[in-house]
Amino acid sequence: MNDDRPLLSVTDAGHRYGDRFGCRNVSFDLWPGEVLAVVGESGSGKSTLLGILSQRLSVDEGSIRYRTTRADGTGGPGGSPEDLLELSTLSEREVRRLWRTDWGFVHQDAAEGLRMHVSAGGNVGEPLMANGWRHYGQIRAKAEEWLRRVEIPAERIDDTPATFSGGMRQRVQIARNLVFEPRLVFMDEPTSGLDVSVQARLLDLIRSLVAELGLAVVIVTHDLAVARLISHRTLVMKDGAVIEAGLTDRVLDDPQAAYTQLLVSSILQG
């Protein structure tokens, strides 16, 4: 928390589908250790926003800058003094490097983020190999450590995710995305589709790992209770625009926009 510069700076960013904007005029800064929730109904533009942040969709307007230099001074591209990358100017190769070393992505559907017929240990070890780890014993030990951290029983390390429950698959996906110590993790509805009790356990796990590792997280969710539980700040999206933003407690307890008041009033009280 000593470093006062944001990790990610988004200014008036937008993406066009043909002549229609999927999202537009989005601005925010994100610091290490912060969890930002993006909430809204389907069609609100929250997935499009996640798409441009994670460079799966083009930034057609505005700018998204990512700071590559780590606290220890390493990580800048090719020793260049400029460490603030304008994402839209990066080559595919540079974006791939970010995915290997800096960014994680936890999908709603674990099948999109995991290799379903490779062992759990293999799924967690792969990102290490991509980062140059060669010693089998070390890779295995690290994978074991991470599977333990996400509470997968040690005896399941050689089983494939295809044989796992939905909650276990999500936990393996989280291990695969955190094992290489990324700095920024995108999460797309990571807990929807799970039973409520499994959801609570997963949220608790995400919350404690994020705090321990000082990660920056952008989590897209339609569930305000998820936002309340794990995010520091919240953006509310509607029709491709951010209509309200601020401290999560404030957005949920004292919503200003009519639409946010409607969303908050439709939360099931529990």
Partner 1 sequence: MTYDKSTENSTGMPQGTILSVQDVRKTFTLHLQQSQQLPVLSGLTFDVPRGHCVVLGGESGSGKSSVMKMVYGNYGADSGRVLLNHQGAVLDLVTAQPREVLAARRSTIGYVSQFLRAVPRVPALDVVAEPLVERGADRQEARERASIMLARLSIPERLWSLPPATFSGGEQQRVNIARGFVTERPLLLLDEPTASLDARNRGVVIELIRERLAEGVGMLGIFHDADVREAVADATVDVHTFSAARQESIA
Q: How far is the CB of 145 from partner 1 (least distance, A)?
A: 17
Site map (CB under 8 A) of partner 1, residues 33-52, x = contact: -x------------------
Nearest distance in Å: CB 38, partner 1: 15
Per CB under 8 A, the segment of 132-140, 166-174, 180-188, 243-251 that binds partner 1 is 243-251
Binding of partner 1 at residue 149 (CB under 8 A)?
no
Q: Does 238 help bind partner 1 (rule: CB under 8 A)?
A: no
Vertex 115: Cα angle to 90 and 43 (nearest 5): 60
Residue 42 or 265: which CB sits closer to partner 1?
Answer: 265
Q: Smallest gap, in angstroms, from Cβ of residue 242 to partner 1? A: 14
Is 232 among the residues that bind partner 1 (CB under 8 A)?
yes
Find all residues with CB under 8 Å of 114, minimum gap 6, and list them.
123, 161, 169, 172, 173, 176
Q: What mask of x and - would describe binding to partner 1 in positions 193 to 222, judged by CB under 8 A?
A: -------xx-xx--xx--x-----------
Residues contributing to the site for partner 1 (CB under 8 A) = 31, 34, 200-201, 203-204, 207-208, 211, 229, 232-233, 246-247, 249-250, 253-254, 256-258, 261-262, 265
